[in-house]
């Protein structure tokens, strides 16, 4: 599940990246032209750039955290410490002899 969240956060970071907004904002304004949403976007364009920059930083940070958390989770589940004998040494496995009682 965290892998899906990390990919979604990375996709959100890609879309809200300030370098892509140069293309996306005029496209969004053209698609919503003549509507109340278009008027709102045109009036508060500077705020939208600032908001998307903040979303970019947040989603990029979340993607990195979720990807790194997935890496540590996968290694922690498989860590097995060797059993120690009474003398503090590693216990040797006992072999079962065939044909014994």
Residue-wise pLDDT tens digits, 31-83: 999 999 999 999 999 999 999 999 999 999 999 998 888 656 555 555 556 56
The values of phi and psi at residue 90, to 5°, are -65, 135
Question: Per-domain residue ranges for the chain?
Answer: 2-76
53, 18 in Cβ contact below 8 A?
yes
Q: What is the pTM of this model?
A: 0.61
What sign has the CA pseudo-torsion 23, 25, 26, 27?
positive
Query: d(Cα 49, Cα 46) in Å, to the nearest integer?
Result: 5
- Smallest Cα–Cα separation from 43: which of 64, 22, 29? 29
Looking at per-residue confidence, does 72 or 26 come out higher? Answer: 26
Query: Which residues are within 8 A (CB) of 7 and not within 5 positions of it... i.e. 6 or more apart?
Result: 63
Query: Which residues are within 8 A (CB) of 42 and not within 5 positions of it... i.e. 6 or more apart?
Result: 29
Q: At residue 86, does pLDDT exceed 70?
A: no
């Amino acid at each position: 599940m965290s892998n899906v969240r990390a990919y979604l956060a990375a996709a959100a970071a890609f879309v809200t990246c300030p370098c892509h907004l140069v293309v996306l904002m005029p496209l969004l304004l053209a698609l919503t032209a003549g509507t109340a949403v278009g008027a709102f976007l045109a009036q508060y364009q500077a705020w939208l750039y600032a908001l998307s920059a903040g979303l970019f930083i947040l989603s990029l940070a979340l993607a990195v955290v979720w990807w790194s958390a997935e890496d540590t989770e996968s290694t922690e589940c498989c860590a097995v410490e060797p059993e120690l004998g009474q003398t503090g040494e590693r216990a040797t496995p006992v072999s079962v002899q065939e044909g014994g009682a």
